[in-house]
Structure formats: C-alpha cells, structure tokens
Amino acid sequence: MVKKITIDGMTIGEGRFVLVAGPCVLESLELALEVACEVKKICDGLGLGYIFKSSFDKANRTSIYSFRGPGLEVGLRWLEEVKTKVGVPVLTDIHEPNQADMVSSVVDIIQIPAFLCRQTDLIMSAAKTGKPLNIKKAQFLSPYDMRFVLEKAKESGNDQVILCERGTTFGYKQLVVDFRSLSIMRSFGCPVMFDATHSVQMPGGQGASSGGKRQFVLPLSRAAVSVGIDALFMEVHPDPDNAKSDGPNMVALSNLRGLLEELIALDDLVKNKLGCVEIEEA
C-alpha cells in the first residue's frame, strides 16, 4: 500500500501524476513568477496538480565560477512570493542540516539532492520539520539502497516521503535510467517521482558545466508513466539555451503543454485501465 501525501488539496500517490516544475535555479523573482504563472495556467487547463520547483543555491555546480543562485534568505523570499502571488505549493532543496527549519517555514516539500541522499544528519533534520520530503536517488546508488534512506526519515518521525529516480551513472558524463527502480522504490510503500530532465543530463558534458539532451525527455517520460508514477519532475525555462543552470536538459516552456498532453493521455490509460506495475516488496 502506497502512502498518500496530500499537499494543498492535491494527492501524491493516487490518481494522476502531479507535476513538479520550474527553472533549475532562481535567476530572478520575475522569471520565477513568469514560469509559475504559465505552468499553473497550463496545468489548470489540463486538470493536473502543480508544484513550483526552483533552487536558491546550486551548491554542486561543476565550476566555482558558475552561477549558484540568490542564496538562502533572498531565495526564500522569492519562493514565498511565488507561493502567495501565484497560489501554488513550492519545493526547494537543502544542502546543510541547519537550513531545514528556515526552509520549512516557507516551502511545502523539502527536497534532498541526489548527491546528498546518504547524509544522515541532513535527512534527519529535514524529516524532523514534519514537511513532506522528496529524496532523490543518487546517481551511484541502486534503488534497493533507498530502503535505508527511507528508514532514516521514518526513524526521525516522518513517513511523508517521495522517492525520486533521476538516472544512474553509466561511465563518464553519461546517465541511464533503469525503469525497474520505479517499481522497486514504490514497493517500499512510497510514492515515486520521475525526474525527466536530470535523467537526460550529461554531467560535466560541456567541460565547466553539465550538458544534456532534452530531446530524450519525452521518450523517457513516456516510459516512466507507462510503469506508473505519482509525480513528474521537469525543469522548464522560457529560454533554456540561455538559462543560468542546466539549460541543455531543460524543457522549453513553449513546448510544455504538448508534452504534458501526451503524458496525461498515457497516464490516464495506465491508471484507469492497467494500473501501476506492482511488485512484491523488493
């Protein structure tokens, strides 16, 4: 039985997938509001739940000279404005245990980055806020290992956990997606999310920054939806080629509606006629 998580009237773990989307990093308040407004309009028209996502700090950029974001205090102010002005829940990631309480005062979901998903103190601090968590599976972990990550959150008093697949390291500068991981992690009783844009990332693929192949976002998303997912993560931007972080793998805002229409049609078929692929507890 999958734990259902309710956020602002939408349920993650039952029915249609919920979309988690926004620019990779907070570049400006104006951009955040623009993206949140447009994506909300699209999702409202398609009958899709929507959660805005963006990072106040990209602490794991390839180069020390890369843009990281506005920082914790300014970033949280911007996220709060998006939340109140657009009327959508918000998600952002934390990198240090001492960020958890401040971030939890604003956001609806705390995200644990893939590189940090084994950091016990970070997970415990986030879990103790009582906020739902989205924990990304590390590029170097098997889905079976996420059982122990989940256990850390539960032992800290929080069972509102989403586990997120975002690709696995396959040699240098390449990721592959093992779609078995969605069924395996869902067998732990958690909703699962598929990160469609980081799964097509090429870490360090442009030398001082990551590359990516956004043309594979749709086929990988179709595959994930066909298995059965509870949430879909996509980073979107009005002008990905000029974005300050992760541009090569982000979806252009102008292409989002058509992409979602295809995925909703498939999701409705799976959920209404076939059902999510269920396996015995892994």
CA 243 – CA 248 distance, rounded (Å): 9
Q: Residue 222 corresponds to which tokens in the numbers above?
A: 């179709």
CA 271 – CA 83 distance, rounded (Å): 29
User: CB-based burial of residue 272 (10 Å sphere; 0-12 exposed, 13-18 middle, 19+ buried)?
Assistant: exposed
Measured CA distances, 231 to 5, 118, 182, 192, 204 (Å): 11, 22, 11, 6, 27
Q: Candidates 3.30.470.10, 3.30.1330.40, 3.60.40.10, 3.20.20.70; correct CATH number of 5-274?
A: 3.20.20.70
Find the helix packing angle between 72-86 and 29-46, rounded to 10°: 40
Q: What residue ranges do the domains of the chain occupy? A: 5-274
Written as tens digits, the pLDDT of the chain (282 aa) is 899 999 999 999 999 999 999 999 999 999 999 999 999 999 999 999 999 999 999 887 677 878 788 999 999 999 999 999 999 999 999 999 999 999 999 999 999 999 999 999 999 999 999 999 999 999 999 999 999 999 999 999 999 999 999 999 998 989 999 999 999 999 999 999 999 999 998 876 565 556 678 899 999 999 999 999 999 999 999 999 998 888 888 999 999 999 999 999 999 999 998 888 888 865
**Side-chain half-sphere CA neighbours of 11 within 13 A:** 7
